[in-house]
Amino acid sequence: MTETPQIDPAPAPLAAATPDTAGDPVISARQVVRRYRRPRRSLTRPGPVVEALRGVDLDVAYGQRLGIVGESGSGKSTLIRLLAGLDRPTSGSIRFAGREITRLPDRSLRFLRRDLQMVFQDPMSSLDPRMTVGDIIREPLVALGHPDSRARVAELLDAVGLPAAAAHRYPHQFSGGQRQRISIARALSPRPKVLVADEPVSALDVSVRAQILNLLMDLVDEFSLTLVFVSHDLSVVRHVCDTVVVMRDGEIVERGATAAVYERPTHPYTEALLAAAPTLRKALAAHAAARNRKEPQER
Ligand SMILES: Nc1ncnc2c1ncn2[C@@H]1O[C@H](COP(=O)(O)OP(=O)(O)OP(=O)(O)O)[C@@H](O)[C@H]1O
Ligand SMILES: [Mg+2]
């Protein structure tokens, strides 16, 4: 049976900044440029250069739920990989909790590895199939030199709605939705301040997307997390995020409170994106209409 997606109401506006960080953003990116060189196709000429980010400025406040939307190839994943310190910009500056991260060597990024965690689109390829779920969840703690904690694994499994016995099993023994719960438990294990999710429900069956989104929103609340949420699905971002930035071709073309941007887009690209988006409301209306059409014959 397919469940009708039931997504909780949109979140309250921006959470207040905590007193010790009042006013300062947790993430601050300035004039970030990332160029890639594509592989060469000719012996005499170098491969073409792709400008994946063309001078992006972005602030993320503590407690904010920021959505990043934009068509495929607009630079969403490139941007969050840079914010997470998984890649370096060609030029520009990125500060995390006030510290410049772009010029720090990997070994100096421990604070970032603890305070910023990521959840990816495909839990099957992001979870090591040879490790038990318990070891997967524990791994970030071990990497940070924390004592191995069984109690913490059980607590995290419980937080994501999985039984404690799941710790002894392997990723392939779980469904797609359950695997994404495991990824979320792993991301939460070092008690991060910021959770960055890159299309976390796009690979999941429609029937479980709403459950995982609701779980994510509950956990963001419970642990007072800052959320950076990348999606090409505008209806999902509307439900999850209080603020949204719209990317196109390596630039942010529009930003603001989600409700305001969706109701009164100022950039023609945002308008086009919204007009083209199959919204959840439209999908539910179509579903209801189809059911109403069918019902008389079924009676
Ligand atoms: N490692 C790389 N080498 C070369 N080009 C790259 C690399 N990573 C990204 N690009 C290019 O940079 C641009 C932005 O890619 P990116 O993956 O950030 O887009 P995206 O908005 O996340 O797209 P999608 O919605 O499809 O995930 C694209 O043109 C892409 O081909
Ligand atoms: Mg991407």
User: Of the bound ligands, which one is closest to the alpha carbon of residue 197?
Assistant: 2
Nearest CA to ligand 1 atom 1: 36
> How distant is the alpha carbon of residue 35 from its chain centre?
23
Burial 262-296 (b: 16+ CB within 10 A, else e): beebeeebbeebbeebeebeeeeeeeeeeeeeeee
Q: How far is the CA of 79 from the centre of ligand 1 (A)?
A: 10
Ligand 1 mutation pick, 33, 41, 72, 201, max ligand atoms within 8 A of CB: 72
Predicted local confidence at residue 232, as pLDDT? 85
**What are the structure tokens assigned to 19, written together?**
């007193």
**Identity of the residue numbered 105:** P
Predicted local confidence at residue 23, as pLDDT? 74
Closest CA to 110 of 81, 144, 141, 86: 144
Q: How far is the CA of 225 from the centre of ligand 2 (A)?
A: 22
Q: How far is the CA of 141 from the centre of ligand 1 (A)?
A: 30
User: Of the bound ligands, which one is closest to the alpha carbon of residue 252?
Assistant: 1
- Answer for the pair 52, 35: CB distance below 8 angstroms, yes or no: yes
Q: Looking up tokens 């068509």, which residue turns up?
A: 71
Can you tell me the distance from the alpha carbon of 85 to that of 89, in angstroms, rounded to the nearest whole number? 9
Ligand 1 mutation pick, 38, 41, 69, 77, max ligand atoms within 8 A of CB: 77
Can you tell me the distance from the alpha carbon of 189 to that of 192, in angstroms, rounded to the nearest whole number? 8
Can you tell me the distance from the alpha carbon of 25 to that of 32, in angstroms, rounded to the nearest whole number? 16
pLDDT per 10-residue tile (average), the chain, 299 residues: 47 42 85 93 85 98 96 95 96 96 91 94 86 94 78 94 96 95 96 96 90 95 96 90 96 96 92 77 62 56
Closest CA to 124 of 171, 160, 181: 171
Question: What is the 8-class DSSP label of residue 39?
Answer: P
- Answer for the pair 64, 15: CB distance below 8 angstroms, yes or no: yes
Nearest CA to ligand 1 atom 28: 73
**What are the structure tokens assigned to 247, written together?**
């990317």
Q: How far is the CA of 292 from the centre of ligand 1 (A)?
A: 42
pTM listed for this prediction: 0.85
First to last CA, the chain: 19
Q: How many CB atoms lie within 10 A of CB 34?
A: 22
Q: What are phi and psi of 121, to 5 degrees?
A: -65, -45
Q: Looking up tokens 């887009």, which residue turns up?
A: 265
Nearest CA to ligand 1 atom 25: 72
**Identity of the residue numbered 220:** V
Predicted local confidence at residue 214, as pLDDT? 94
Q: How far is the CA of 63 from the centre of ligand 1 (A)?
A: 28
Between the alpha carbon of residue 142 and those of residues 120, 146, 194, the distances in Å are 21, 5, 19
Predicted local confidence at residue 288, as pLDDT? 64
Residues having CB closer than 6 A to ligand 1 are: 36, 38, 50, 52, 70, 72-78, 232
Ligand 1 mutation pick, 34, 40, 71, 76, max ligand atoms within 8 A of CB: 76
